[in-house]
Structure 1
Amino acid sequence: MMVDVSRRDFLKSGVTAAVVSGGSLGAFYFGYEASLEKPVRVGVLGTGDEGSVLIGAINPDYIQVCAIADIRPYSIHRAFHGDWYSEAALKARPGLLAKYGWKTEEEARRHVRVYGDYRELLEAEKGRIEAVIIALPLHLHAPAAIAAMQRGYHVLTEKLMGHTVAQCKEMARVAKLTEKHLATGHQRHYNILYAEAVDTIRRGLLGEIHYIRGQWHRGNLPGNDSWQPPMPEEIKPDDPLAKTLRRQLASWRARLRTAPAKEVELWRKRVAQLEAQLADAVLRDKAEQFGYQHKVIKDHEGRILWNRPAAEELIRWRLWDSTGAGLMAELGSHQLDAASIFIAAAHGGQKQYPLRVVAAAARPIFGADREVESHVVCVIDFPAPGYDPTDPLASQKRISVQYASINGNGFGGYGEIVFGTKGTLILEREQVKHLFLEGGSTSMSAGPAAGPMLDTQATMPQQAAAGEGPTYMEVSRGYKEELEHWAWCIRRNPRARDPEIRPRCHPEVALADAVIALVTNMAARQGRPI
């Protein structure tokens, strides 16, 4: 808890430098201890794109990774060695060797036990670990979390909480029944700059909040889509990207042979990572063993448009209804979660629930190589202070949230804008950009967040921040703080009985966020308000 330090002056004050040099900034800001006497022993289920980001965000003073599970050889390699495909990727995914100071994978494996199927880890690690981090494909969040809690593990699962509303409710029920902490990874709850935005709203600087606009625009196009990575040719020889990895490997091996001495290690690690990605070819015959399915997509006349092997459903899981839930789950849930936080601030901290959603979705630039839409646009109404559904006038007191997520054009990137009667707050790429007050402008800027500025849902190029004005300090995007606080809650409230010591995105909050995302998908596909 903050003591004698104003939140609105927090980022500007010299106290931040002292806190960062002496321990966890998140601990100081959010009110948990700066370290634990004994780190929580954790297993990581799923070490792909997002799982490796969470490994990179771990503070060893709070968490000791003792086991990992993933059925992809490529994911196991990145878990240990990090992601060397770009500087931004490596900053997000440094790997276990760098995180804990181990010199080789052999040394790391003496500390970290490795499994394929996550269920093997849950059975074998009983009594050895205390909690699990789940970063599996969305359709496995609920089965893995429920199985883990029933076996005595605390859980932090990546967003979205579950694949369906029913699954989310069951996860919440099991968490209560087993007295285990269940956190969901909506990291904006731990982003200090978003907390500053909440403080700005609560202090009334924006006046009455009446409209919020959010977007996440990405330049993904056919043949260059972060959700459709290239696969080993053995999995699908006729895939448009089938030869991409082999060609890249030949090119990188040539670069390694001619690289100057100072670049040899970089290219050696890149070649090793690409070889590990090609090792996913073993999934051609194994994916079905883990529940993934072959599917043939046909047009209305029965002609085959896309032939999807089971391993493609696994590697490109975000594209399919059976394994993912599209843009609203992967991107929109973060920003509508942020909108909910802002609206709660306007209600004195009281969580508000949406009144209705109108949405539209389409797939104008992609073909039959996926089931999820490439564009989603929605408007969601929330109660404003004074809302009364029984009063004709007061029933109109609503806060409208407009959100758009598109592919094919990355202009504007991602962020949120909060409109009030006295001012406008702009948050861009998870950094506070500007506060404009009506009748003139007061501008506040903050520097780029201390995480890599890339789409962590899948490997993407770094996006440079367009900050103006003074830079006070770099601030984490919230991954580190959510993990620290979760571990602290486990240590200080092991039976999850104290409501004052629980993750900020606990089941009630995460369930509400999941409902918004999943109901928006329903409204878009059904073409009617809900």
Structure 2
Amino acid sequence: MNLTPEQQKVGKENFNESVAVTRRDFLSGTVAAGLATGAGLGSIYFGYGASVGDPLRVGFIGTGDEGSVLIGAHNPNYLKAVAIADIRPYNVFRAFHGDVSSPNAQRVRPGLMSKYGWKTEDEARKQVKVYGAYEELLADKNIEAVVIALPLHLHAEAAIKAMRAGKHVLTEKLMGHSIHECKEMGRTARETGKLLATGHQRHYSVLYDNAVHTIGDARLIGDVHSIRAQWHRGNLPGKDSWKPPLPTDESLLKKMASWKRRLEESKPSEVDVWSKRVAQLEAQLADSDVAAELFGYTEKQLPDGAPRTPLEELIRWRLWNRTGGGLMAELGSHQLDAAGIFISAMHGKGKKVKPLTVTAIGNRSIFPDDREVDDHVYCMYEYPAPDYAENPNKKIVVTYSSINGNGFGGYGEVVMGTDGTLILEQEQNVMLYKGSSRDTRVTVSKSKSGEAVLDTTESGGGSVAVVPTEASGKAPPSRGYTEEMEHWAWCVRNPDPANQPRCKPEVALADAVIALVSNVALKKSDGQPRIDFKEEWFDIESDVTPEGVKPNLQREQYKT
């Protein structure tokens, strides 16, 4: 975000100081006492129990890139993995062994064997059943709940079938592929009485919770009037994380030959690592035997004339409109969710503030016609400020960009208020500045009216011992994956209308409306890319949707 190391240090110290002062009672009382009992930070911050007694018996549906992250993040004290379902050998391997392609991949996707201490895959398979089609997993009466990390077009189908089969559901974001699907999911949750949560994990980030407090309760940056968010990546043709190699690609065969030679030449201390890497690559090559067409994937001729096989649609599902939702669904939805949380904090607790308008443009200027989704999107949103009802000019503008081809600035959010600026960087750090000054060390003092204010001269009274806002040098701060699953499991084990996931259907629907209506604005061909949001789109019980399709729970794909 264009800050020198010294400016970053100043900003982090400013933020830590502000949290220590404005949340002093909470940090020195509730948090400190909770940590002393051994409770996890998430349960203390977000108000759920330190354990559930009997862990929720869970099946993981979809164990690819994101599913394996969730497997690595789940806490066995709250959730017990008893089954997985995936049609790709590559994903099944990673579910058990983790992603052994690199140390960093192994860190974020450690696998079930590491999580539970099982020595071999045979031992693990005695504890965890393996299914291909997810419908087979749903028929397992021992499973109480499922975590869904399938391609986007399958979220509604799998979630609705799961709830009708008596399972509670946590599905990855985006909630659904269309607004009518999201409403169908929400209605099914109400009809079945099953808890449905969606994985917008910033709702469970301690880092973001402290930022929300700074913006809302403490009001340290004054009246928020502008938010700038971005997710910039260096993806380029030939180096694209959304276009992984197919199992038939020559590059994988060459890599296999190279890795086998490396294994033969390994020192005794390296044999285990390279044996696992070769085994993972063998599993990836085995994906060539998957009959993807039997699971609904289709062939198509691309604009560049090349054929796309059903297997390619499965493996590269993020590239296609039928199976994915592009940059706004995969990346933008997270940050617009965060922007909505910040703006809602300005309006007061318990209020979910919705945008008024969106204006958007997008293009595919980096990649060739080997995909359907844009590689650059730019969106501008108008939100109502707290006093909008009295003065329609009072608005908060959110600008968002997601681009490929240049990763400068990475991803994060900049929240600008009349008194200060808050910068959130890659879910790892938060920095606070007074006004636009990036070099000034600030403290927090009390105004004559008793409100907390940023001060560059007065002492803020020092900090308390517990300020869990950023990495301590041992591990990065939690991104919220663990906490969202813990709370979901706790809500299931403690049934009460008051015990609801923070990203329940009504909240997840709003996030989906913002992302998917932005996609509509990106595709408008009338030269008027602005869309006014309608209140009915955000109402689960309303049949009005932006795509003009009424919700219908009798669809063929929902039948078991």
TM bracket (short chain): 0.7 to 0.9
Which residue matches 1:225? 240
User: 1:268: how far off?
Assistant: 1.1
> In the alignment, is the contact (CA less than 8 A) between 1:190 and 1:479 conserved in 2?
yes
Deviations 1:1-49 (A, max 9, x none): xxxx977349986966972882311111111111121000001110000
CA distance in 2, matches of 1:354, 1:339: 10
- Partner secondary structure for residue 306 of structure 2: strand
1:19-98 matches, cutoff 5 A: 19=35, 22-98=38-114
Which residue matches 1:479? 481
1:488 aligns with 2:490: yes
> In the alignment, is the contact (CA less than 8 A) between 1:245 and 1:278 conserved in 2?
yes
User: 1:297: how far off?
Assistant: 2.0
> In the alignment, is the contact (CA less than 8 A) between 1:11 and 1:472 conserved in 2?
no
1:176-187 matches, cutoff 5 A: 176-187=190-201
Count of equivalent residues: 479
Which residue matches 2:552? none
Deviations 1:198-239 (A, max 9, x none): 000121101000010100000000011000000111xxxxxx
CA distance in 2, matches of 1:122, 1:257: 43
After TM superposition, where is structure 1 displaced by more than 6 Å over at least 4 residues in a row? 10-14, 467-473
Deviations 1:399-421 (A, max 9, x none): 10000000000110000010000
CA distance in 1, matches of 2:238, 2:431: 36
Out of 507, 510, 513, which is 1:512 matched to?
510
Which residue matches 2:539? none
Which residue matches 2:211? 197
Identical aligned pairs, as a percentage? 59
Out of 130, 134, 155, which is 2:169 matched to?
155
Which residue matches 2:257? 250
Q: Which has the higher contact order (CA 8 A, sep 6+)?
A: 2
User: 1:367: how far off?
Assistant: 1.0
- Partner secondary structure for residue 22 of structure 1: coil
1:202-281 matches, cutoff 5 A: 202=216, 203-233=218-248, 242-281=249-288
Deviations 1:341-394 (A, max 9, x none): 000000012111110000001000111111000011000111101112xx6xx1
Q: 1:10 to 1:430 in 2, by over 3 A?
A: farther
Deviations 1:434-477 (A, max 9, x none): 10012853479xxxxxxxxxxxxxxxxxxxxxx99987974211
CA RMSD of aligned residues (A): 2.2
> In the alignment, is the contact (CA less than 8 A) between 1:306 and 1:368 conserved in 2?
no
Question: Which amino acid is 2:174 matched to?
Answer: L
Deviations 1:247-284 (A, max 9, x none): 1111111111112222221111111111110110102x
Q: 1:257 to 1:488 in 2, by over 3 A?
A: same
- Partner secondary structure for residue 482 of structure 1: helix
- Partner secondary structure for residue 508 of structure 1: helix
Q: 1:332 to 1:113 in 2, by over 3 A?
A: same
Name which of structure 1's ranges 81-90 and 21-30 shifts more when overlaid on structure 2: 21-30
Which residue matches 1:239? none
Structure 2 unaligned regions, length at least 5: 1-19, 444-468, 532-560
1:135 aligns with 2:149: yes
> In the alignment, is the contact (CA less than 8 A) between 2:428 and 2:470 conserved in 1?
no
CA distance in 2, matches of 1:265, 1:107: 18
> In the alignment, is the contact (CA less than 8 A) between 1:156 and 1:183 conserved in 2?
yes
- Partner secondary structure for residue 392 of structure 2: helix
Which residue matches 1:117? 133
> In the alignment, is the contact (CA less than 8 A) between 2:207 and 2:470 conserved in 1?
no
Q: 1:20 to 1:518 in 2, by over 3 A?
A: farther
Question: Which amino acid is 1:308 matched to?
Answer: R
TM-score, normalising length: structure 1: 0.87
CA distance in 2, matches of 1:33, 1:411: 41
Question: Which amino acid is 2:77 matched to?
Answer: D
Question: Which amino acid is 1:219 matched to?
Answer: G
1:121-520 matches, cutoff 5 A: 121-123=137-139, 125=140, 127-202=141-216, 203-233=218-248, 242-283=249-290, 286-298=291-303, 305-349=305-349, 350-388=351-389, 394-438=391-435, 441-442=440-441, 474-493=476-495, 498-520=496-518
> In the alignment, is the contact (CA less than 8 A) between 2:383 and 2:397 conserved in 1?
yes
> In the alignment, is the contact (CA less than 8 A) between 2:428 and 2:471 conserved in 1?
no
Q: 1:25 to 1:207 in 2, by over 3 A?
A: same
> In the alignment, is the contact (CA less than 8 A) between 1:359 and 1:523 conserved in 2?
yes
CA distance in 2, matches of 1:136, 1:211: 35
Which residue matches 1:301? none
1:104 aligns with 2:124: no
User: 1:430: how far off?
Assistant: 0.3
> In the alignment, is the contact (CA less than 8 A) between 2:148 and 2:155 conserved in 1?
yes
CA distance in 1, matches of 2:193, 2:399: 37
Q: 1:20 to 1:78 in 2, by over 3 A?
A: farther
Question: Which amino acid is 1:378 matched to?
Answer: C
- Partner secondary structure for residue 225 of structure 1: coil
User: 1:396: how far off?
Assistant: 1.2
Structure 1 unaligned regions, length at least 5: 234-241, 299-303, 445-466
CA distance in 2, matches of 1:116, 1:6: 53
Question: Which amino acid is 1:346 matched to?
Answer: M
- Partner secondary structure for residue 71 of structure 2: helix
> In the alignment, is the contact (CA less than 8 A) between 1:360 and 1:524 conserved in 2?
yes
Q: 1:7 to 1:229 in 2, by over 3 A?
A: farther
> In the alignment, is the contact (CA less than 8 A) between 1:376 and 1:405 conserved in 2?
yes
TM-score, normalising length: structure 2: 0.82
> In the alignment, is the contact (CA less than 8 A) between 1:10 and 1:16 conserved in 2?
no
CA distance in 1, matches of 2:65, 2:298: 22
CA distance in 1, matches of 2:214, 2:400: 22
Q: 1:24 to 1:386 in 2, by over 3 A?
A: same
Q: 1:313 to 1:472 in 2, by over 3 A?
A: closer
Which residue matches 2:15? none
CA distance in 1, matches of 2:235, 2:267: 34
